Amino acid sequence: MSMPVLLLEAAGPESEALARTAAASGHPVHAVTDAATLATYPRDLRRLLTGCLVTDFAQPRQACKDITGYGHRIGVKALLTVNEYLTDLAARASAALRLPGNDPERAAAARSKALMAAAFQAGHVAAPSTTITDNLRQVRATAAEVGFPCVVKPADGAGSAGVTVVTSEEELEAAWHAARTAKPMYGMPRDERVLIQEYVKGREFSVESLTQHGTTTHLCITRKHTTRGVHRVELGHALPAHLPLSLTHI
């Protein structure tokens, strides 16, 4: 059965792969993007799309109205995104269209590290100690308390932008400025605050999960490969991760 799919941002390897898979399955694929990003779409991606809505992601309320109206016009049956900057908007648009999606009141915490830290604390979830501040003096005081190395990052960034592993007091000011000047995609407004966290040594993993009707199903564990040094950027993923069964029991 053919069902119109609305993809918030079709640019990027993951988004393009998703669009191609949906189109190959017979579903009309529509994209939502902004004018600047649309100009970068390759020709084969444009040919793949059934339609495209151009909006301004930096104006989330208007963008949600635009997406909702467009979704009604095409009779959309699924709305999704793989872009971290658009998860909150996708949740709100899905709710407005009465489509399955994340809880719009909680979706922002998927990217906002400040909201995520507050949710962890409220839910008694074990996590690195976190301080949120807009004051460099507080950054210095917190770093002295948690010790070095520590992590300084933007309050609402994504993709490791502006994240620094700080090994000494002399590196704190540069890390502070890196976190404060990291630019979100699409010209979105930025949270001016910064997070200081204790550094947890070890290999990095993520648990891929699906939550539906209040039930969470863990799908697999991913091993993340990152750069070393002060800036940790993901280089690739190993999925599924090969771990002893005793470590994968969740």
Predicted confidence (pLDDT) at residue 149 exceeds the cutoff of 70: yes
Which pLDDT tens digit goes with each residue over 20-30? 999 999 999 99
Question: Looking at residues 119-142, what average pLDDT do you find?
Answer: 93
Cβ partners under 8 Å of residue 176, min gap 6: 136, 139, 152, 194
Structure tokens, 220: 């697999």
Identify the H or E element spanning 205. Answer: strand 204-212
Tell me what percent of the residues of the chain surpass a pLDDT of 90.
70
As a whole number of angstroms, the distance between CA 144 and CA 140 comes to 6
Distance, CA of 18 to chain centre: 17
User: What does the pLDDT read at residue 194?
Assistant: 95
Span 194-227, pLDDT tens digits: 999 999 998 889 998 888 888 989 988 999 988 8
Q: How many helices and strands, by DSSP H and E, does the chain display?
A: 9, 11
190 pLDDT band, cuts 50/70/90, is confident
pLDDT bracket for residue 61 (50, 70, 90): very high
* Exposure class string for 17-53: b at 16+ Cβ within 10 A, else e: ebbeebbeeebbbbbbbbeebbeebeeebeebbeebb
Name the band, by pLDDT with cuts 50, 70 and 90, for residue 250.
low
pTM score, two decimals? 0.87
Other CB atoms within 10 A of residue 83 CB: 23
pLDDT digit string (tens) for 96-128? 999 999 999 989 998 899 999 999 999 999 999
At residue 234, φ and ψ (nearest 5 deg) are -70, 130
Whether 20 and 5 have beta carbons less than 8 Å apart is answered as: no
